[in-house]
């Protein structure tokens, strides 16, 4: 699992940086025709590799539009700065599910032009992925994972109620930190006995009482995928919540990690276009291309994130498909994170803000 890149010296970000930075850096003014380029933020590491292989190269071949792929992160703050100063530096962004509504509400995103999508594609893409301001790019899950040898002489834990049972299932534990607005609140409610289909609207107080009970037994609360991967790889923890993609990486490295889909939390990332992007039309075309089943199938075979276009499963071999979060058998066991509820603003505050505030109170108590 190295981050060796394919040879892309010519189209590299660096060349763009030195040769055309000034031209590229400032998009913004509306009445400008698209150049023959599109700037796509492809993420970093293995995820970037997979995006490039599945979407960027094929798109370039089919349309002849040059893709400038940027391997970097960005955050809401940056996009806001770009849009407000008219210095938008990207055409296509990969946006976390919880951020799409926030960004849309602040007027930071362009509307998706679904008219260029074929009816077949629109049929096949899952309804939750067809947002007014974004198109679902991938599904991933947070699931209970553990080292296989932790439970050799007893059945391993399944489901979060068993995870909360520290005596019945001993081991060093980890959960997702709530700091960034992703958190273990739904998991805590399930552990407290709430059925998966009755999770939302979240009973915040009950969730945090539940978290309080497991708190002394958590060795580390992880915040990022790399933390997540590293604490399992180095065996700082024996069991806990983890991204399925990260655990898949470890499994590829022959580490005996087991993933349990039961009561997993399904989440989405979206493709979006910042308002005032330099090449909005090309951006729409790119996103449409990336939403095709055949392309998403390539993507999901590179990295275990699930397609949002269900026709992709026609192209994915069975042994790969069973590892994906939206494989029907896996999907049935999980619940989906409710972004709309989080973004709902009541009394001037969004529910997401309430959750973060509750988390802040939790950590200082």
Interacting residues with other proteins between 189 and 218 (CB under 8 A): 215, 218
Token pair 């939403």: residue? 291
What token pair was written down for 2? 């190295």
Query: Nearest distance from residue 349's CB to other proteins, in Å?
Result: 10
Q: Are 256 and 149 in contact (CB under 8 A)?
A: yes
* CA–CA dist 86, 84 (Å, integer): 6
Q: Computed over its alpha carbons, how large is the radius of gyration of the chain?
A: 21
Nearer Cβ to other proteins (196/218): 218
DSSP string, 92-143: BEEEEHHHHHHHHHTT-BPPP-GGGS-HHHHHHB-GGGEETTEEEEEEEEEE
Q: Strand 257-272 and strand 335-336: pairing? A: parallel
Among 95, 287, 352, 355, binds other proteins (CB under 8 A): 352
Closest listed residue to residue 25, CA positions, set 45, 39, 46 = 39
CA atoms within 13 A on the CB side of 322: 4
Cis peptide before 201 (omega within 30 of 0): yes
Answer yes or no whether residue 333 interacts with other proteins by CB under 8 A: no
Interacting residues with other proteins between 236 and 295 (CB under 8 A): 236, 253
Contact code string over 42-81 relative to other proteins, x by CB under 8 A: --xxx---------------------x-xxxx-xxxx-xx
Query: Judged by CB under 8 A, which stretch of 54-62, 271-279, 312-320, 352-360 contacts other proteins?
Result: 352-360
What token pair was written down for 358? 């509750």
Answer yes or no whether residue 3 interacts with other proteins by CB under 8 A: yes
Q: Is the torsion defined by CA of 180, 184, 185, 186 positive or negative?
A: positive
Query: Nearest distance from residue 69's CB to other proteins, in Å?
Result: 10
CA 311 to chain centre: 20
Nearer Cβ to other proteins (244/291): 244
Answer yes or no whether residue 16 interacts with other proteins by CB under 8 A: yes
Answer yes or no whether residue 87 interacts with other proteins by CB under 8 A: yes
Among 11, 57, 180, 354, binds other proteins (CB under 8 A): 180
Q: Strand 134-147 and strand 130-131: pairing? A: antiparallel
Answer yes or no whether residue 107 interacts with other proteins by CB under 8 A: no
Query: Judged by CB under 8 A, which stretch of 12-20, 148-156, 188-196, 271-279 contacts other proteins?
Result: 12-20
Query: Nearest distance from residue 351's CB to other proteins, in Å?
Result: 12
Q: Are 80 and 104 in contact (CB under 8 A)?
A: no
Nearer Cβ to other proteins (204/331): 204
Query: Interface with other proteins by CB under 8 A: which residues?
Result: 1-5, 12-14, 16-18, 21-22, 24-25, 44-46, 68, 70-73, 75-78, 80-81, 85-87, 89, 99, 102, 106, 177, 179-181, 215, 218-221, 223-226, 229-230, 233-236, 253, 352-353, 356-357, 360-361, 363-364
């Amino acid at each position: 699992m190295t981050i060796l890149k394919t040879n892309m010296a010519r189209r590299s970000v660096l060349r763009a940086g030195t040769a055309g930075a000034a031209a590229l850096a400032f998009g913004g003014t509306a009445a400008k025709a698209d150049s023959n380029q599109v700037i796509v933020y492809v993420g970093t590491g293995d995820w970037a590799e997979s995006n490039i292989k599945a979407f960027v190269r094929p798109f370039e071949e089919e349309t002849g539009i040059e893709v400038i792929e940027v391997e970097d992160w960005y955050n809401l703050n940056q996009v806001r700065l770009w849009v407000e100063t008219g210095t938008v530096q990207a055409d296509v962004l990969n946006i976390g599910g919880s951020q799409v509504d926030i960004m849309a509400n602040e007027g930071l995103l362009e509307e998706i032009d679904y008219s260029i999508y074929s009816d077949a594609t629109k049929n096949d893409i899952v309804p939750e992925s067809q947002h007014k301001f974004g198109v679902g790019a991938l599904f991933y899950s947070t699931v209970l994972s553990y080292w296989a040898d932790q439970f050799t002489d007893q059945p391993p834990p399944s489901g979060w109620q068993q995870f909360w049972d520290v005596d019945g299932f001993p081991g060093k534990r980890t959960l997702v930190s709530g700091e960034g607005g992703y958190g273990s609140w739904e998991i805590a409610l399930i552990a407290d006995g709430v059925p998966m289909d009755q999770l939302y609207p979240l009973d915040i107080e009950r969730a945090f009482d539940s978290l309080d009970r497991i708190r002394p037994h958590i060795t580390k609360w992880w915040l990022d995928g790399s933390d997540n991967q590293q604490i399992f790889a180095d065996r700082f923890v024996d069991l806990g919540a983890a991204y399925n993609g990260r655990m898949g990486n470890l499994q590829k490295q022959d580490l005996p990690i087991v993933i349990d889909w039961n009561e997993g939390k399904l989440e989405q990332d979206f493709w979006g276009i910042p308002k005032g992007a330099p090449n909005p039309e090309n951006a729409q075309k790119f996103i449409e291309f990336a939403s095709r089943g055949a392309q998403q199938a390539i993507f999901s075979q590179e990295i275990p994130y699930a397609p949002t276009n269900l026709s992709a499963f026609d192209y994915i071999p069975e042994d790969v498909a069973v590892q994906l979060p939206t494989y029907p058998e896996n999907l049935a066991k999980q619940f989906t994170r409710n972004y709309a509820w989080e973004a709902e603003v009541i009394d001037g505050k969004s529910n997401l803000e309430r959750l973060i505030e509750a988390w802040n109170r939790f950590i200082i108590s």
